[in-house]
Amino acid sequence: MSPLCRLLGLSFWAVGVFGTSINRNWANLEARDVLRSCLSKAVGLDDSRVQFPEEPNFNDTDLRPFNLNLQYAAFAITYPNTTQEVSDIVLCAGTHDRKVQARSGGRDFINKCLGGAGGAIVVDLKSFNTIEVDQATQIATADGNRYIPHGSSPLVGVGGHLMVGGMGYSSRQNGLSIDALTEVEVVLANGTVTRASETSNPDLFWAMRGAGASFGIATEFNFQTKPEPETVVSWTYNFTSNDPAVLSEAWKAYHEIVRDPALSLKLGGTARLVKSSFIISGAFFGSEAAFNDINLGGRLPSTSTTTITPGLSWMEFIQDIFDSAGSTASQAYFYTSDTGVTPDTMPSNSSIDAFLEHIFAADDVSSNWSFLLDLYGGKINDVATNATAFPHRDVLYFLTAYVSTTGPTTATTERFHEDAVLKLQSNEPEKYGSYAGVPSLGHENSQEKYWGSNLARLEIIKARFDPDDVFSMPQNVKPAGSF
């Protein structure tokens, strides 16, 4: 072939390639516009209830990533008002091969409510905020003087809290939030709206209680409520010292309390380690006299600053916590991890000493860190491991590591805190599970840590209700046979 012929051949080939590329781009733009139109129709053509990335203040007002280290570009943020609108949004997404993620509050350590990757459609459930009580059965679909066990963060929505288990100050006495759940309304991956309970869709009901975000979007919960506590004692023991040995002594004393099988179920609390302080605090559900009878202070070192406030209502107690948490920034650069401690994996005294020696040794990594040790057990652990998707029914406390930084959190900072936790675990992390409510991208085999021996059953149920993994993010349950 002559040079001219070769050149002409190349030109014709190039026109074909670029023509194909242009056609593909037009097709992508057309599909995008069709999806946008579908989402707009799903919310009644109310432009304020479906927001796209080019909208003014989209990142600050609508996307609102809780962890600024993880920036995921959602395709759209939607704000449905009804279950039918949620169903229509899910149908739009499924038709266009988009992933869907519900957002309930948005306090999310790895931004999974934004899809955990780019291009997801977020269903914000802020309008689903009504409460009703059946006065005959006292089942909430929650009015005066009734409550369920729940958490203590004002930034957490009921959906996000429930779908992973839901623990709080009264859980040792009353169980988890999911243990009070009697029925849930769910929008499935194909847009179907269904209800699940012990007698209707029992497999789905089982999965929703601990792994719900992998299976659908919950739009209504029914609970068996309990009478609001008559009186609450708020208590705090604050150990402050620059000497790690003093804080170690307090931690070890806390361990002895935590591992006591006779510890009063009326006692709920947490310990918090920060630089130079180990603070043990919580609630006692009863009178001051009854609190004094358990002699909690007598089981702790005498070096604490003690604050005891009796005679509170439950609302007064929880409002104080909400008020103190209200100053917490809604967005930050941070890293978290979580470890469930059981009787068989309780850190030794030498492990505690090694941990404190490590964490106090390098302030240049980050001095803005904390470790929470949430008291667990009691009624929570009276439930069988396989009774709900939530498997951690033998845990005595969950240890949550939290470190925040002024800018993007570096791998060095993350590694430093991972090494600290490894010292507590005696370098045997495989023995420890984790709470799905405090996810971490640093975990290997995350699904196994979150759901343990229940994972295989969850994967089978996932394949039945969401075979295409519409409700998807990297750490969710995956359909059986998909990997």
**Residue 144 covered by a domain:** no
Last residue of a domain, one of 94, 124, 154: 124
3-state secondary structure of 218: strand
Highest mean pLDDT among 10-14, 28-32, 137-141, 438-442: 438-442
How many structural domains does the chain have? 2
Q: What is the pLDDT of residue 147?
A: 79
Domain that residue 281 falls in: 232-447
Last residue of a domain, one of 67, 96, 124: 124
> What's the distance, CA 319 to chain centroid?
21
Burial class (CB in 10 A: 0-12, 13-18, 19+), 135: exposed
Question: Rounded mean pLDDT of 7-32?
Answer: 49
**Residue 208 covered by a domain:** no
Share of the chain above pLDDT 90, in %: 58
Residue type, 313: S
**Residue 431 covered by a domain:** yes
Q: Are residues 119 and 236 located together in one domain of the fold?
A: no
Q: Is the pTM of this model over 0.85?
A: yes
**Residue 211 covered by a domain:** no
- Split at pLDDT 50, 70, 90, the class of 11 is very low
**In this predicted model, what pLDDT tens digit does every residue of 89-140 receive, in sequence order?**
999 999 999 999 999 877 777 778 888 888 999 999 988 887 776 666 666 5
Q: What is the pLDDT of residue 63?
A: 86
Query: Parallel, antiparallel, or unpaired for β 100-103 and 121-124?
Result: parallel
**Residue 172 covered by a domain:** no
**Residue 3 covered by a domain:** no
Q: What is the pLDDT of residue 142?
A: 40
Last residue of a domain, one of 124, 150, 166: 124
Rounded to 10 degrees, the C-alpha dihedral 412/417/418/421 comes to: 160
CATH no. for residue 307? 3.40.462.20
**Bridge partner residues of 282 (DSSP):** 235, 269
Q: Who contacts 454 (Cβ-Cβ below 8 Å, separation ≥6)?
A: 210, 211, 385, 386, 389, 390, 391
| 51-60, Cβ contacts within 8 angstroms, sequence gap of 24 or more | 51/76, 51/77, 51/78, 51/79, 52/76
Question: Rounded mean pLDDT of 76-100?
Answer: 95
Q: What is the pLDDT of residue 327?
A: 45
**In this predicted model, what pLDDT tens digit does every residue of 285-342 receive, in sequence order?**
999 999 999 999 999 998 889 999 999 998 899 888 888 766 455 788 989 999 999 9
Q: Are 203 and 216 in contact (CB under 8 A)?
A: no
Question: Rounded mean pLDDT of 38-47?
Answer: 92
3-state secondary structure of 184: strand
**In this predicted model, what pLDDT tens digit does every residue of 336-381 receive, in sequence order?**
999 999 999 999 999 999 999 998 886 666 668 899 999 999 999 9
CATH no. for residue 54? 3.30.43.10
**Residue 107 covered by a domain:** yes
Q: Who contacts 234 (Cβ-Cβ below 8 Å, separation ≥6)?
A: 281, 282, 283, 307, 308, 309, 310, 312, 317, 320
Q: Are residues 371 and 251 located together in one domain of the fold?
A: yes
